[in-house]
């Protein structure tokens, strides 16, 4: 289930619609005046596996929260460099097939934890699916890319980007679900103000 912060701009609504196309079987709900607790309860009652909430600042999407239901965890990401489908030239059409996943650069223990959180948002694809979604980690920035491909002959394939395109940076993982913010334990949190913060990477073991 995908929703937004309250009073979303038209751009955030459009981004939510585009994300709905990314995740097979996803639904989008207008936030309206719903409290987070009511949203989570409704999702649990209807067998929803994950709740994704996107936030914005002055019309730019800046936050991406994934809460795994029914028991957690909840991962909080900063969103940056968002490029929506209508901003990308020569765009392909979105396939509804279940995508193959390319998950690269998540070699540390925390990296594996994050890659699992992202991987479980997607069902298992069929072998003949021509849709590919990439989460590539470099220096703790996770690049999201979305392509379809077709074989031009037995040796070559042609990739077409279908968008959207964005970067994620993890800043916190909490045990528990989204409405338990006040009581759930923090499993990991990024501390940007420590002396070595700018030198350290967390998602890869290098």
Q: Could you give the CA distance from residue 70 to residue 92 in angstroms, rounded to a whole number?
A: 35
Domain boundaries, given as residue ranges, for the chain: 2-199
How confident is the model over 151-173, as pLDDT tens digits?
Answer: 888 889 899 999 899 999 999 99
Two structure tokens written together for 136: 């590539």
Whether 66 has a pLDDT exceeding 80, the answer reads: yes
Among 6-10, 62-66, 111-115, 179-183, name the one with the lowest average pLDDT. 179-183
How confident is the model over 75-115, as pLDDT tens digits?
Answer: 999 999 999 998 887 787 888 899 999 999 999 999 999 99
For the segment 179-197, the average pLDDT, to the nearest whole number, is 82
Which CATH superfamily does the domain covering 2-199 fall into?
Brix domain (3.40.50.10480)
pLDDT of the residue at 182: 84
Per DSSP, the residues of 5-33 read SSS--HHHHHHHHHHHHHSTT--B---TT
CB count within 10 Å of CB 149 equals 16
Whether 126 has a pLDDT exceeding 90, the answer reads: yes
pLDDT of the residue at 129: 94
For the segment 50-71, the average pLDDT, to the nearest whole number, is 96
Name residue, tokens 């934890």: 113
Q: Report the residue count for the chain.
A: 206
pLDDT of the residue at 94: 87
* Burial (Cβ within 10 Å: 0-12, 13-18, ≥19) of residue 197: exposed
For the segment 111-125, the average pLDDT, to the nearest whole number, is 96
pLDDT of the residue at 154: 86
| Whether pTM exceeds 0.85 | yes
The continuous run of DSSP H or E covering 112 comes out as helix 109-119
């Amino acid at each position: 289930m995908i929703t937004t912060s309250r009073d979303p701009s038209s751009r955030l609504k459009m981004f939510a619609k585009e994300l709905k196309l990314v995740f097979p079987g996803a639904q989008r709900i207008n936030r309206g005046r719903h409290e987070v607790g009511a949203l989570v309860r409704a999702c649990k009652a209807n067998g929803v596996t994950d709740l994704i909430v996107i936030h914005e600042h002055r019309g730019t999407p800046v936050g991406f929260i994934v809460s795994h239901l029914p028991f957690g965890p909840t991962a909080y990401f900063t969103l940056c460099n968002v490029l929506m489908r209508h901003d990308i030239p020569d765009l392909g059409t979105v396939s509804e097939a279940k995508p193959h996943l390319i998950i690269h650069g998540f070699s540390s223990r925390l990296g594996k934890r994050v890659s699992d959180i992202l991987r479980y948002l997607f069902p298992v694809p069929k072998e003949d699916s021509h849709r590919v979604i990439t989460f590539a980690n470099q220096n703790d920035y996770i690049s999201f890319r979305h392509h379809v491909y077709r074989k031009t002959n037995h040796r070559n394939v042609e990739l077409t980007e279908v968008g959207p395109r964005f970067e994620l940076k993890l800043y916190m993982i909490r045990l528990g679900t989204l409405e338990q913010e006040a009581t759930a334990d923090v499993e990991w949190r990024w501390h940007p103000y420590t002396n070595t913060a700018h030198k350290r990477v967390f998602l890869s073991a290098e």
